[in-house]
Chains A and B, each alone.
Chain A
């Protein structure tokens, strides 16, 4: 068994035993990503925070029944998505992640032979701290991610930021593998285009 799987098993046992320090560590690691995720489904940041709070309560109440068929984080995100969808339905919203979204933003970048019309720039010093147009690049990136369509944002949070395996991202969001990959690629193209305008 891999070291991190052992660590996860230990973490789950401690949570089942009511270890507050382990819960604190789990909470600190996942709370903000959970809020960002919930915000892709419900209509406001405040509602997203409420849904995340309910999710943590559910995690603590139901940890005894967690069987480890997914990762612990995957289980927590699945609870969150269910709660956020229930809340969105109650508020008269429906969010489906299973959408292709619009075309990618490279459709005009190539000539009739599929060659670059303009050569992509060479980027250097892409650090989160670098200041461009009055803000750090990390801040620009957060804003660009927030501006993505919900399905693309959800895939970026889970696959790129939380580093879930593709199969787990598909399970959490209820997406086919092909559709998840299209959403991921389009999201990355869109974020790249935002950076390209800044740099």
Chain B
């Protein structure tokens, strides 16, 4: 019988869909009976979704800096090409 700690240790693998067969079945059984673990696994999923979405640059300043650097790269490249 898996303990709550066992479930917490496997939460990443579970949310990533990496568990199969007997492992997955045991965990599903535990989750069906344990509110604490269901909540924890949901929290881990919510954390991951937020981490994924937090990567959006979003900041106008960053966009401006990006545009400036991109122009630099392209102009350096054009200079090099015209030399060859």
Q: Which residues of A contact B (CB under 8 A)?
A: 20, 23-24, 27-28, 31-33, 36, 49, 53, 56-57, 60, 106, 109-110, 113-116, 119-123, 126, 128, 137-139, 141-142, 145, 156-157, 160-163, 181, 184-185, 188-189, 191-192, 195-196
Contacts and interface: CB of A to CB of B under 8 A. Distances in A.
B81 to A, nearest CB: 8
A114 B3 contact: yes
Contacts of A181: 12-13
A20 B74 contact: yes
Chain B contact residues, majority secondary structure: helix
A106 B46 contact: no
Interface of B: 3-6, 8-9, 11-13, 35-37, 39-40, 42-44, 46-58, 62, 66, 69-70, 72-74, 76-77
Nearest to A56: B73
Contacts of A57: 73, 76-77
Contacts of B37: 116
B5 A114 contact: yes
A139 B53 CA distance: 10
